[in-house]
Amino acid sequence: MSHTPASDPMFSPLQVGELSLPNRIVLAPLTRSRAAQPGDVPTPMMAEYYAQRASAGLIISEATNISPIAKGYALTPGIFTDAQIAGWRLVTDAVHAAGGRILLQLWHCGRMSHESLHPGQPPAAPSAVECDDCAVFLVDAEGRGDKAPVSPPRAMTLDEIRATVADYATAARNAMAAGFDGVEVHGANGYLLHQFLASNTNCRDDAYGGDLAGRCRLLFEVMDAVLGEVPAGRVGVRLSPLFSLNGMADADPAETHGHVAAHLNSLGIAYLHVADTDVMAGAAPQMDRMLPFIRPNFTGVRMLNGAYDPERARAAIAAGDADLIAFGRLYLANPDLPERIAAGGPYNTPDPATFYGGGAEGYTNYPTLAEA
């Protein structure tokens, strides 16, 4: 079924902080592991990939390492060297030339990492809590990629925590120097900031652990640091309150994330990105369990993410549950997704074999509707 943009809530313009978006369709942050080596530098092919998807209301970049120790997966880009900044400038210039808007997602993997990615430094985490069934993507000497168990983490010192806050500030500043329209702080999916929030991965007894205030302290300090570099109207935050993969099991996710949402609301950020990421592993959708403790605490723009198809996305926007919908795998395979949604499809099928690593196949060669 096709919809005319004039009557379709997916295509109504929206002011998101300082950003004027022409539609409600967002390219979700998608790790694709195609950064150039050595140096984890964005490439011209990455610029082509993002520019192909510039008809989105907003693009959120793949998760991007804020420092060497932040890295948890092979071939993922960084934002802490001059070469990386220059590589990202190719991307932002290409997206802007195509009429798009793009934010950089700031990432620290914490315990979701392997020591081979930063030799001599085990993964840094709030506490030395191992994840027995956690795995990350690595590449061997012959260039073959595969999943590997994470390395045992070590608890961060107070000095390392302070240095990490400074790394977020530097990364945010570098993102703006690279031409991004803003940044998204990745506080979800079992990575470092989420590890500090969750009671099962944060066993500290200092100011950064223990009670709810202590567990939220790092995220709130990171937000202050990022907002010192980027206007609040150009900053978003991603949370995944009920995420149960990567060994995450907070005792009271509603209390934790309701408190976080209220604090983020007080900061006046551009949007809150709420992810129902377990659905990608086959779980039933849980957004209806999250919205009751998110909506009362965050009154700004809400972006929802969780294997939405166009009809479910349209219904969420029409009902007022969402202002924006972030599409992942569907957008990965359909570079002209807004045009296809307006036409009622058809849609290319994503190829999981080409999600991580490799070249143009399964990356920049998905046909548009006109080409198909």
Alpha-carbon distance of 154 to 113, in angstroms, equals: 11
Residues 6+ apart with CB under 8 A from 291: 274, 321
> What span, in angstroms and rounded, lies between the C-alpha atoms of 317 and 134?
34
Q: Give backbone dihedrals phi and psi of 192, rounded to 5 degrees, phi first.
A: -55, -50
The residue type at 172 = A
Q: Are strands 25-27 and 301-305 parallel, antiparallel or unpaired?
A: unpaired
Write out the E strands in 18-140. 19-21, 25-27, 58-65, 102-107, 124-125, 135-139
- List residues with catalytic annotation: 191
Amino acid identity of residue 69, one-letter, is I
CA distances (Å), origin 52, targets 62, 94, 147, 299: 15, 9, 29, 32
Letter for the amino acid at 132?
D
